């Protein structure tokens, strides 16, 4: 017999809280293991993601009703209250009495009568009195942090980098659930043909808002369609699709993708080359390289050679070989994909940003000699942090006078992106609120 969905949600949230488990991976594993009713999978996902996304706002509300403050409670009681308040405040289709009854039942099962009575009292008081308003007497940084549930240090950092208004928009946009977006494999189909094919299979979709290769899924499970299984479409966010286009590849080229797993950009590059040429795809771990091979096989692409190697050792590994194009989609803090992975904002610290900058710089330094003279190197990340983006690129250019920013990048960007106020010669930052996509950074460099 399967467990009630809120009890499963509590266990998932506790593992994320205690062990910094990745929410997306843990949810996928739990859904497979928990024998949940298919109708409950959506509710489980909503409760888990919503509770993580709104964590500090929920704690702000709870502190008004828990005598010694929410952090005085045992971990599981605190998480149980958070997920219950999330449902009461942000979900309107679940009766309040059902939420309270379920929370009290779980509290009795895991604790004792005193705890279940406290849980009952807190939730009923909140229903009776309503949630407190957020104190307007706080600084703008504290207010953004509480209202949008972001760590104060991160809000402070973004305000210094982008200003208060843009930071507030960025934090608010991270609370909006992302679209499911797919890229059309144009070796097999046009975008128009793929749209018609999905509609025949009962999936409602529309053209992308940013990338010419994209379809946005509005209704239906695209991953169970024959169009997906036959490799006509593959999952990828629209801003991520701009990276492959930024390389400007042509048929017959030799391309190096240094941090390639799970293979979204490698396969996009191969598709643009009409699967003629060679894409050398490397990643650090063999189990991730397996994902690249699986994607290439499903999409029917034979030009991809995938192998496990540390990008910082590629120069020795390639033994003097050079490439027409090089992509470094560098490991990063991931602050641009918080909508999809909300645990990032709680698991990352300032020291992590400092550490990852060193890795990004060392990869750039190691890989740069592998580019042919006159070739193009694209450096990209899924973060909006300027230290990991513009500063890493500028530091590289200062040490490598044979490289320069590629002003022709703009010719390979979609019309909407060309007018972005975050475009500079050879570099563009896409903020999550700009086009309702993931946040991304792309820099194009030419080797003289």
Assess whether 228 and 322 both reside in one domain. no
Confidence of residue 138 (pLDDT cuts 50, 70, 90): confident
Assess whether 105 and 163 both reside in one domain. no
Assess whether 272 and 185 both reside in one domain. no
Q: Residue 220 belongs to a domain with what CATH number?
A: 3.30.70.1170
**Percent of all residues in the chain with a pLDDT value above 70, rounded to a whole number:** 99
**Strand boundaries in 42-117, DSSP class E:** none
Q: Which of 55-64, 208-217, 418-427 has the weakest average pLDDT?
A: 418-427
Distance CA 214, CA 184 (A): 6
Sign of torsion, CA 73 77 81 82? positive
Q: Average pLDDT for residues 327-335, to the nearest whole number?
A: 97
Assess whether 314 and 358 both reside in one domain. yes
Q: Average pLDDT for residues 83-90, to the nearest whole number?
A: 97
Q: What pLDDT was estimated at residue 135?
A: 76
Catalytic residue, from 249, 382, 428, 442: name it. 382
On the question of pLDDT at 248 being above 90, the answer is yes
Assess whether 21 and 120 both reside in one domain. yes
Assess whether 188 and 279 both reside in one domain. no
List the beta bridge partners of residue 205: 217
List the beta bridge partners of residue 440: 430
Q: What pLDDT was estimated at residue 114?
A: 87
Q: What is the DSSP letter of 131?
A: P
Q: What pLDDT was estimated at residue 2?
A: 61
Q: What is the DSSP letter of 168?
A: H
Residue whose token pair is 């309702």? 436
pTM: 0.93
Query: 43 to each of 9, 50, 56, 202, how far by Cα in Å?
Result: 9, 10, 21, 23
On the question of pLDDT at 245 being above 70, the answer is yes
Highest mean pLDDT among 14-23, 237-246, 415-424: 237-246
Q: Average pLDDT for residues 378-396, to the nearest whole number?
A: 97
CB 438 within 8 A of CB 432: yes
- Structural domain including 211 reads 180-235
Distance CA 86, CA 255 (A): 47
| Binding-site annotation: residue ranges for S-adenosyl-L-methionine | 259-265, 283, 310, 329
β pairing state of 371-381 and 440-447: antiparallel
Assess whether 207 and 229 both reside in one domain. yes
Question: What's the number of domains the chain is made of?
Answer: 4
**Structure-model confidence comparison of residues 175 and 39, the more confident one:** 175
Confidence of residue 34 (pLDDT cuts 50, 70, 90): confident
Active site residue 171: no
Q: Average pLDDT for residues 16-21, to the nearest whole number?
A: 78
157: CB partners within 8 A, 6+ apart: 350, 385
Assess whether 152 and 199 both reside in one domain. no
Assess whether 117 and 159 both reside in one domain. no
Assess whether 268 and 345 both reside in one domain. yes
Confidence of residue 74 (pLDDT cuts 50, 70, 90): very high
Burial of 58 from C-beta contacts in 10 A (0-12 / 13-18 / 19+)? buried
3-state secondary structure of 64: coil
Assess whether 78 and 100 both reside in one domain. yes
353: CB partners within 8 A, 6+ apart: 333, 385, 387, 388
Q: Residue 280 belongs to a domain with what CATH number?
A: 3.40.50.150
Assess whether 346 and 273 both reside in one domain. yes
Q: Residue 113 belongs to a domain with what CATH number?
A: 1.10.940.10
On the question of pLDDT at 150 being above 70, the answer is yes
């Amino acid at each position: 017999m399967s467990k009630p969905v809120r009890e499963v949600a509590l266990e998932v949230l506790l593992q994320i809280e205690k062990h910094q488990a990745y929410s997306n991976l843990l949810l996928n594993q739990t859904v497979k293991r928990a024998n949940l009713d298919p109708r409950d999978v959506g509710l489980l996902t909503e409760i888990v993601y919503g509770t993580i996304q709104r964590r500090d706002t929920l704690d702000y509300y709870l502190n008004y009703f828990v005598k010694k403050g929410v952090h005085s409670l045992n971990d599981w009681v605190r998480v149980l209250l958070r997920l219950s308040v999330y449902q009461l405040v942000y979900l309107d289709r679940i009766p309040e009495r059902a939420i309270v009854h379920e929370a009290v039942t779980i509290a009795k099962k895991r604790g004792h009568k005193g705890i279940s009575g406290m849980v009952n009292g807190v939730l009923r008081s909140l229903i009776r009195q309503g949630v407190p308003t957020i104190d307007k007497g706080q600084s703008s940084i504290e207010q953004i942090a509480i209202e949008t549930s972001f760590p104060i240090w991160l809000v402070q950092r973004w305000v210094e980098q982008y200003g208060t208004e843009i930071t507030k928009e960025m934090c608010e946009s991270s609370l909006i659930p992302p679209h499911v977006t797919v890229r059309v494999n144009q070796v097999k189909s046009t975008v128009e043909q793929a749209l018609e094919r999905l509609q025949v299979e009962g999936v409602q979709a529309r053209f992308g808002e940013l990338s010419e290769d994209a379809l946005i899924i509005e209704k239906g499970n695209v991953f169970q369609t024959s169009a997906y299984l036959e490799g006509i479409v593959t999952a990828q966010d629209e801003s991520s699709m701009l990276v492959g286009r930024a390389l400007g590849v042509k048929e017959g080229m030799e391309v190096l993708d240094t941090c390639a797993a799970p293979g979204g950009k490698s396969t996009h590059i191969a598709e643009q080359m009409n699967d003629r040429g060679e894409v050398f795809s490397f990643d650090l771990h063999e189990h991730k390289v397996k994902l690249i091979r699986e994607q290439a096989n499903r999409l029917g692409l034979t030009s991809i050679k995938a192998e496990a190697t540390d990008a910082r050792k590629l120069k020795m590994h390639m033994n003097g070989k050079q490439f027409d194009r090089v992509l470094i989609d560098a490991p990063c803090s991931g602050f641009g994909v918080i909508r999809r992975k909300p645990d990032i904002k709680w698991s990352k610290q300032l020291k992590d940003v400092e550490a990852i900058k060193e890795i990004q710089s060392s990869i750039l330094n190691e890989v740069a000699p592998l580019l042919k003279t006159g070739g193009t190197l694209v450096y990209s990340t899924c973060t909006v942090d300027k230290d990991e983006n513009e500063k890493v690129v500028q530091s590289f250019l200062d040490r490598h006078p044979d490289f320069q920013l590629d002003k022709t990048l703009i010719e390979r960007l979609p019309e909407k992106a060309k007018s972005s106020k975050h475009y500079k010669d050879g570099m563009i930052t896409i903020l999550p609120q700009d086009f309702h996509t993931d946040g991304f950074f792309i820099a194009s460099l030419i080797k003289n």
